[in-house]
Amino acid sequence: SQKIEQNSEALNIQEGKTATLTCNYTNYSPAYLQWYRQDPGRGPVFLLLIRENEKEKRKERLKVTFDTTLKQSLFHITASQPADSATYLCALEGSGGGADGLTFGKGTHLIIQP
């Protein structure tokens, strides 16, 4: 069955440094991968999407890479700020393609310390 793994332990990063989060998947050949941010008690918010034929995608201080050989995506936040503290979710299209929803990882809790 499809499986997505994100580091379940909290990631503590000093303000101003680059935070790197990892998403690994197995038994998948997704056409794209998405990253969401979730704050406590709130719904996830879409951040970035990267397709299988794209190696890297950037949006302001965010960068996502997608290695289909390693079956891994890396999510980077440069010049991190305390306001970046949140849980970040990796999501892949479901087994039936995007039409039947996404499969989410458990998320990585990121803490940016001032």
Partner 1 sequence: DGGITQSPKYLFRKEGQNVTLSCEQNLNHDAMYWYRQDPGQGLRLIYYSQIVNDFQKGDIAEGYSVSREKKESFPLTVTSAQKNPTAFYLCASSIGLRGTTTDTQYFGPGTRLTVL
50: closest CA among 38, 42, 62, 37? 62
Q: Which is nearer to partner 1, 34 or 80 (CB)?
A: 34
Please name the residue that has the structure tokens 């936040």: 77
Cα 5 to the center of its chain, rounded Å: 10
31/79 with CB nearer partner 1: 31
- For residue 82, the SS3 value is helix
Residue 43 CB, shortest distance to partner 1, in Å, is: 3
- Pick the binder of partner 1 from 93, 108, 110, 112 (CB under 8 A): 93
Say how far apart CA 4 and CA 28 lie, in whole Å: 9
The pattern of x and - marking residues 49 through 68 that bind partner 1 according to CB under 8 A reads: x-x-----------------
* Residue 45 near partner 1 by CB under 8 A: yes
Considering only residues 46, 55, 70, 113, which one is a binding residue for partner 1 as defined by CB under 8 A? 46
User: Distance (Å, rounded) from C-alpha 67 to C-alpha 72?
Assistant: 5
- Interface size with partner 1, residues (CB under 8 A): 28
Q: Does 10 bind partner 1 (CB under 8 A)?
A: no
Q: Are 34 and 99 in contact (CB under 8 A)?
A: no
